[in-house]
Structure 1
Amino acid sequence: MEVQIFGIKKSQDARKAERFFKERKVKIHHVDLEVRPIAKGELARFVQKAGGLLNLIDKGSKTYQKKGLEFMKLSEDRWLELVQDHPDLLILPLVRFGQKVTIGHDEATWKSWME
């Protein structure tokens, strides 16, 4: 079993996900989104799961607040650009196991993958 975790180093939930899988001896491929932005095709899997890109946006993030994004009406392309430049705008971690994905901290689903 191998999972792919997309996150950033300062994300507590991404670190919790890593710890969860390490404790269960699951092989982890960690992608630091501050070093390597998520590919558009990969992001599309999570967008589909979330029911749209806006549902992946962490409206409580400091970047969201600092940039005043709650007051802006942006196109999907502009949101994609912002997410590439500021991965902390995403609800993290994004975890992929084969074709299955989760958004945010979701231990219940991760446990079900191991059954």
Structure 2
Amino acid sequence: MIQIFGTLKSFDVKTAQRWFAERRIPVQFVDLKEKEMSRGEFDSVLDSLARTLGSRADAIEEMTDKKSKDYASIAYLDDSEKADKLFENQLKLMKQPVCRNGKNAATVGLAQKTWEGWK
């Protein structure tokens, strides 16, 4: 089952939902305003991105919304602290949407090329 984590206000989340709906691919939407990712879900996404990008530090950078007004609170932290800060402030600091296909595949932001392989 594909999960989309984000908020309904996010244009990119709506775009992702529409992309999957147009292809009749069922998804579970998780509104981060109501329920944030569990530590296990967060680590699963981080590990999946790390495998794709090459390192956990690169995965954290990819997941971080550099346009967020709260970005300064994470920008200069040590890599080990960044993951915790990102987990604790998902709504404010994380790029949306986070799409997860099982435990081994995940994307952050719009990634239609990757999603095409998820059918």
TM-score in terms of structure 2 length: 0.77
Tell me if structure 2 keeps the 8 A contact 1:8–1:88. no
- Higher mean Cα deviation, 25-34 or 88-97? 88-97
**C-alpha distance in 2 between matches for 1:102 and 1:71:** 21
Residues 4-23 of structure 1 aligned to structure 2 (within 5 Å): 4-23=3-22
In 2, Cα distance between the equivalents of 1:94 and 1:59? 15
Separation (CA, whole Å) in 1 of partners of 2:42 and 2:116: 23
Whether the aligned pair in 1 keeps the contact of 2:45 and 2:105 (CA below 8 Å) is no
Letter of the aligned partner of 2:12 in structure 1? D
The CA RMSD over aligned residues, in Å, is 2.0
Q: Percent identity?
A: 32
- Give 4+ residue runs of structure 1 displaced > 4 Å after superposition: none
Instruction: Give the direction of change, closer, same or farther, for the CA distance of 1:4–1:63 in structure 2 (3 Å limit).
Output: same
Secondary structure of the 2:89 match is helix
1:106–1:78 distance in 2 versus 1, CA, 3 Å: closer
Do residues 92 (structure 1) and 87 (structure 2) align? Answer: no
Could you list the runs of 5+ residues in structure 1 that have no partner in the other structure?
none
User: Contact between 1:56 and 1:90, CA under 8 Å: does it hold in 2?
Assistant: yes
CA distance 1:70–1:41, change in 2 (3 Å): closer
Within the alignment, does 1:47 sit opposite 2:51 as a pair?
no
- Name the SS for the 2:8 alignment partner: coil
**Secondary structure in structure 2 of the residue aligned to 1:4:** strand
Match of 1:57 in 2: 64
Shift of 1:82: 2.3
